[in-house]
């Protein structure tokens, strides 16, 4: 223990603060949550991969979110489980391991919001421009957008963590259940102004683009559906809502998914997705428009 105390690469971390009597219950609860996240998300990815009818843009985006959730949960939960029975004074982590965990946790969060922006765009095109949906949101386009989302999140987080690891350390205690950027730069006694400015700025950009795009998308969808000047499109939207598997409840779930996307929501959406095909829905709208004309 003394060697660890004088090793500059050893960081003491608080972890979860639970009493010895509650350790077993907390461990079981966390383990069940972790198992549920892994099984539900991996199951959804396997289902979409094996079912050819589900290999459509929206479900490929579900795969993005599921893979990201598996990555994020694996980054944080296993270490929490490993430390939960240890006394707080014996909980430690190597500095580079802490840096990797901080990078991974922020990368997971940034990627989630970036993919949500793509999902909002996908729903906008599907509802407001259904005749061009099949040509705009192809699988190739979704792959490009997804790769861009992961790349943007990676670059932003790499700069964020890079600004932190350049700092010299004068402390070795992290008062947090797991490592994040704020915990890391608080180990330094240097001027943290640049870290605060970039951290706040990147958070505003990521959260603002995600929440703003979702809000604007559904506001635009509502305006299109309610506008008296778009009766033909409203007729097409009505036809879309009466397509099997795309009822009002399903649309409500999609809205909730964009705002609060837990793994269980994606799993239920994936399991009920066999009856839905966005391209066939767009085609039915096109036929409806021809009949009206």
Summarised one tens digit per residue, pLDDT across range 215-232 is 888 888 788 777 755 554
Residue 280 in any domain: the answer is yes
Q: Average per-residue pLDDT in the chain? A: 77
Nearest Cα to Cα of residue 11 among 190, 198, 166, 188: 188
Residue 2 in any domain: the answer is no
pLDDT average, residue stretch 8-30: 84
- In this prediction, residue 256 has a pLDDT band, given cuts at 50, 70 and 90, of very low
pLDDT average, residue stretch 195-222: 87
Please report, rounded to a whole number, the percentage of residues in the chain having pLDDT higher than 70. 75
How many Å apart are CA 37 and CA 45, to the nearest integer? 12
Residue 162 in any domain: the answer is yes
Residue 117 in any domain: the answer is yes
* Secondary structure element (H or E) that encloses residue 11, with its range: strand 10-13
- Per-residue pLDDT, 229: 52
- In this prediction, residue 44 has a pLDDT band, given cuts at 50, 70 and 90, of very high
The pLDDT of residue 283 is above 50: no
- Per-residue pLDDT, 171: 83
Domain range enclosing 286: 10-292
Please report, rounded to a whole number, the percentage of residues in the chain having pLDDT higher than 90. 30
- In this prediction, residue 86 has a pLDDT band, given cuts at 50, 70 and 90, of confident
- Per-residue pLDDT, 148: 93
How many Å apart are CA 111 and CA 108, to the nearest integer? 5
Which tops the pLDDT comparison, 282 or 165?
Answer: 165
* 3-state SS assignment for residue 44: helix
Residue 4 in any domain: the answer is no
| Domains identified in the chain, total number | 1
Lowest-pLDDT range of 74-83, 84-93, 183-192: 84-93
pLDDT average, residue stretch 175-204: 89
Which tops the pLDDT comparison, 256 or 111?
Answer: 111
Residue 3 in any domain: the answer is no
Q: How big, in percent rounded to 5, are the helix, strand and coil portions of the chain? A: 80, 5, 20
How many Å apart are CA 113 and CA 10, to the nearest integer? 33
Q: Domain of 162: which CATH number? A: 1.20.1070.10
The end-to-end CA distance of the chain, in Å, is 81
- Per-residue pLDDT, 82: 86
- 3-class SS string, 56-84: CHHHHHHHHHHHHHHHHHHHHHHHHHHHC
The pLDDT of residue 103 is above 50: yes
Lowest-pLDDT range of 3-12, 230-239, 249-258: 249-258
- Per-residue pLDDT, 156: 94
- In this prediction, residue 153 has a pLDDT band, given cuts at 50, 70 and 90, of very high
The pLDDT of residue 280 is above 50: no
Structure tokens at 149: 């989302």
pLDDT average, residue stretch 179-206: 89
Residue 5 in any domain: the answer is no
- Per-residue pLDDT, 8: 62
Residue 1 in any domain: the answer is no
């Amino acid at each position: 223990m003394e060697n660890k105390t004088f090793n500059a690469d050893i960081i003491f971390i608080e972890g979860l603060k639970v009493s010895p009597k509650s350790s077993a219950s907390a461990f079981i609860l966390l383990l069940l949550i972790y198992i549920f996240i892994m099984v539900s998300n991996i199951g959804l990815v396997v289902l979409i991969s094996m079912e050819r009818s589900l290999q459509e843009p929206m479900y490929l985006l579900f795969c993005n979110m599921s893979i990201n959730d598996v990555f994020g949960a694996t980054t944080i939960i296993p270490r929490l489980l490993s430390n939960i029975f240890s006394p707080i004074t014996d909980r430690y982590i190597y500095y580079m391991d802490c840096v990797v965990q901080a990078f991974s946790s922020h990368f997971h969060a940034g990627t989630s919001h970036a993919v949500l922006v793509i999902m909002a765009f996908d729903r906008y095109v599907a509802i407001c421009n259904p005749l061009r949906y099949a040509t705009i949101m192809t699988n190739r386009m979704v792959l490009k957008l997804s790769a861009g989302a992961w790349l943007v999140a990676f670059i932003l987080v790499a700069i964020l963590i890079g600004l932190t690891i350049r700092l010299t350390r004068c402390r070795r205690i992290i008062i947090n259940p797991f490592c994040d950027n704020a915990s890391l730069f608080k180990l330094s006694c240097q001027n943290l102004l640049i870290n605060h400015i970039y951290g706040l700025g990147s958070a505003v950009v990521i959260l603002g683009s995600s929440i703003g795009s979702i809000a604007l998308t559904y506001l635009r969808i509502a305006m299109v559906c309610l506008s008296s000047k778009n009766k033909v499109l409203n007729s097409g939207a009505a036809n879309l809502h009466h397509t099997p598997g795309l009822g009002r409840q399903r649309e409500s779930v999609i809205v909730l998914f964009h705002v609060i996307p837990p793994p269980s929501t994606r799993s239920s959406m994936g399991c009920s997705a066999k009856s839905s095909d966005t391209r066939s829905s767009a085609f039915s709208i096109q036929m409806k428009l021809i009949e009206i004309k």
